[in-house]
Amino acid sequence: MIKTVEWTDEGVVMIDQRLLPGEEVYPVFKTCEEVARAIEQMVVRGAPAIGVAAAMGLALGVRNTKAGSIGEIEKDFDDMCRRMSRTRPTAVNLFWAIKRMRWRFNKAKQQEASPEVVRASLIAEAKLIHSEDIESNRRMGRFGAELIAEGSTVLTHCNAGALATAGFGTALGVIRAAIESGKRISVFAGETRPFLQGARLTAWELARDGVPVTLITDGMSGHFMKRGRIDCVIVGADRIAANGDVANKIGTYMVAIAAHENNIPFYVAAPLSTIDLTLNSGDEIPIEERAAEEVTHIHGERMAPDGIAVSNPAFDVTPHRYVSAIITNKGVAREPYDMSLKSLFANCGDGAETGSV
């Protein structure tokens, strides 16, 4: 399995996703600030992977701090949490992971743990978030695989694979699980302008696993749906509001409309850490605006007129009425989402798992 994010004694090792598929390079990030920059600069991306990286970045920061007392460590930790929360605004997994690390810190503090124990417990928590994410994707895969018929061609958008998580993937995890269960599945991957996560990452990781994958440009998906070439759509999510509205990579909304028009199921696969019950609807989800150069340039080469006005929202929101089901690590939710999503959180222990503490 691809090692997207890994804790080592030297620091956090992450595959540099900006260089794929041309080069497979694994730099080591040695400070919390280095990890925060890696998230901003898209070395690591994808909602769950961002959360795992952020948790490891905070653990690294607490391990590195020269602070001697719990009070001093906490002051540094607060600064690191603030820094980390400014990296990217849309994927709620980032804020979930920060909250969960804060919860672990508070728990250790209440137990009057020594600085060494606080450091060790934050490292342990970050590693746990990592391993839980893989387990959660496997569970999601098992739930989702049942929705995919033998012989299906599945359209996906962006990259919701091993590269977007600690491993296995959410949307691609469902596809992998369906294949593991013996079904013959092929995939259409939308290229995902402007950052090309579909062309560079999804195509790369599926081809590497021997999954039949056909790359198309974003504008082609409606055409293939109308021609009966797509049986269902599965995408990941960056944040899901309480009513089931789904923020995901820009272009997802148009895919959902085309799927609806053609009577094709549109599934979203995401862990509970992507569901934000504090927001009533998708209108409240903050949408990241990224640099104009991502639109005007390809591989550093300008292909739009100099000085042209550009808009570059990185995500859009698909209204829940277009979502056939939301596949989570706790089961499959369907309309009415304001009830079904809430009930998934019902048996989640002391809240550590959901970040609701």
Catalytic residues: 238
Closest to ligand MRU by CB, 152 or 165: 165
- Least spacing, CB of residue 215 vs ligand MRU, in Å: 16
- Least spacing, CB of residue 92 vs ligand MRU, in Å: 10
Which of 344, 351, 355, 337 has the alpha carbon at shortest distance from 240? 337
**Residue numbers at the binding site for ligand MRU (CB under 6 A):** 45-48, 91, 158, 160, 164-165, 170, 197, 236-238, 248-249, 314
Closest to ligand MRU by CB, 236 or 244: 236
- Least spacing, CB of residue 237 vs ligand MRU, in Å: 6
- Least spacing, CB of residue 195 vs ligand MRU, in Å: 6
Closest to ligand MRU by CB, 6 or 238: 238
Closest to ligand MRU by CB, 228 or 331: 331
Measure the CA–CA gap between 38 and 43, rounded to whole angstroms: 5
Which of 275, 264, 202, 201 has the alpha carbon at shortest distance from 238? 275
Cα angle, residue 325 at apex, residues 5 and 52 outer, rounded to 5°: 15
Classified as helix, coil or strand, 279 is: coil
Measure the CA–CA gap between 266 and 243, rounded to whole angstroms: 16
Rounded to 5 degrees, what are φ and ψ at 120? -65, -35
Residues near 298 by beta carbon (within 8 Å), at least 6 away in sequence: none
Closest to ligand MRU by CB, 310 or 339: 310
Residue of this chain nearest to ligand MRU (CB atom): 236
Which of 209, 210, 264, 266 has the alpha carbon at shortest distance from 237? 266
Please give the distance of CA 117 from its chain centroid, rounded to a whole number. Answer: 30
Measure the CA–CA gap between 279 and 225, rounded to whole angstroms: 32
Classified as helix, coil or strand, 16 is: coil
Cα angle, residue 338 at apex, residues 333 and 341 outer, rounded to 5°: 35
The DSSP letter of residue 30 is -
Measure the CA–CA gap between 284 and 267, rounded to whole angstroms: 22
Dihedral angle sign, alpha carbons of residues 237, 238, 241, 245 = negative
HSE-CB of 53 using CA atoms within 13 angstroms = 38
- Least spacing, CB of residue 340 vs ligand MRU, in Å: 20
- Least spacing, CB of residue 228 vs ligand MRU, in Å: 25
The DSSP letter of residue 289 is B
Closest to ligand MRU by CB, 70 or 237: 237
- Least spacing, CB of residue 314 vs ligand MRU, in Å: 5
Closest to ligand MRU by CB, 145 or 314: 314
